[in-house]
Structure 1
Amino acid sequence: MHGSPPPDQKGYHGQMNIRPHLLPPELDLELVGQVAELAADLQDEPENPESSRLLEFNRLTGQNYTHSHFRGLSGSIDAHDFAEIALSPVDHFEDVQDEEFLEIIRFLLEGLGSERDLGYWLEFLQRHLPHPSPSDLIFQAELSPEDILHQLKTYPPIVL
């Protein structure tokens, strides 16, 4: 799962039957490099919410990361992959069809794509369906894509 998609930036998404506006955004490779360099620097930087590097990272990504996001970065994911993920926020779409959800689930079950792909599509499912942990069903359960989607869609809300 490690590594970047092929140079066309569509990676394996060109094989997915999903409307283009649902796909991860195309990346500016120069920006990815700049953000990756900041991420690598931030993993060893002392905690400081006013850090110029942290503020710049958040400005470039449009996110709100803290130093804790960078701890142990090299042990779990490299700075380049982290930068790609940070530059690929998931929007909420009102019109996602079941067939598109199934396409995403199949893609994840096949294990194709990069860390960015994995992160994007898992967050996509989490943002659009009530189940709190889609990865548990996809990577730990022996279910068909249809059964996974059914469980993701029918998870009862937590009442507090």
Structure 2
Amino acid sequence: MKEEVQQLINHLIQIEHVSTTLYLAMSAYMDRKNYTGMAKWLRLQSEEEREHMLMLIRYLSGKDGVVEISEMSNQPTDFGTPLETFQKVLEHEQFVTNAYRKAYDYVKQVDPQTVVIVEDFLREQIDEEAQSLTIVERLKLAGNSPSALLLIDQELGQRQNGTAVI
């Protein structure tokens, strides 16, 4: 594996590592605020991002590449209102999509096997962004209505591992 591709995969591993801890921190925050459904949704999202990280690690290891897990700074402990929290989720997913888009543009010129992996992740980002956007839009509609927020919380709490609710 070319050194540049190895560095790129390690960069994507780090992004997924940050994603899993960010969503776990958000989950703990929402749990503390008694939005247990949103907390569950975010915890499952964290688990999904962790699985993405592990897939990239397995891919790189399988190519005899060197996996580098970098240190991270602490995650915040306060994310604001549910709307503000999920706006951060959407922004983060857009950041992740952009990282995979750049990775795809590079590897399609130098490594056809890695293109397949990156393309799968890029395709999945379509759903990640769409779900986040839908949640943000629903939270905007709910405004400050406690009953509407609790309904959204209940709906998000119905998520099962690997399946979207909204």
Q: Indicate the TM-score class for this superposition, using the shorter chain for normalisation.
A: under 0.3
TM-score (norm 2): 0.25
Structure with more of its chain in helix, by fraction: 2
| TM-score, L = length of structure 1 | 0.26
